[in-house]
Amino acid sequence: MKLCLATNNAHKVEELQALLGEKFQLQTLNEIGCFDDIPETADTFDGNSLQKAIYVWERFQIDCIADDSGLEVDALNGEPGVFSARYAGEHGNHAKNIEKLLQTLEGIENRAAQFRSVITLLIDGKPHFFEGIIRGKITHERHGEKGFGYDPIFVPEGYDRTFAEMTMEEKNPISHRGLAVAKMIEFLKQA
């Protein structure tokens, strides 16, 4: 089954394709001919993921997976949240986002946080939502070279390594996106 993943983020495509397996073939926005900067103007993860999926469906009539995800830090009332990718102002600058978060948390003992992902699966124009949450804590400095985003400063509960220190095979089953994808795969098997 062909599905468009509403992103051009190679890390997300690789991660999601590994989770979905061979039964599903993911196409990026570029591969379907969409070169637009899809708006994300909602104030929730499900609102943003739905907005992206509908954008693709309305223009290309292609079944679509769109996700919005981010880091929610307890001591910061859930920030950076939906602004995770542009927390430091420039969209997608992971190093600056991490730097700003670590500075903001300086001197704060409560480092509890969670990654949240909401996936919208839009099939024949009908949306289905799947959420994944992984609790953990923010480290005081970067550790590891793998992954992307806030992975170098997030240690999931029950582990002593950051996501960036884990292999994809270790991270995928426990990650927020992995948990949401597992729910989506169960849904697709029953459809």
Tell me the pairing of strands 64-73 and 2-5. parallel
C-alpha 150/C-alpha 129 separation (Å) is 24
Active site residue 43: no
Instruction: Determine which one of 46, 63, 67, 68 is catalytic.
Output: 68
With CA atoms as reference, report the closest residue to 39 among 26, 53, 19. Answer: 53
33: tokens are 């001919």
Q: What is the phi/psi pair of residue 51, to 5°? A: -60, -45
C-alpha 4/C-alpha 9 separation (Å) is 13
Catalytic residues: 68
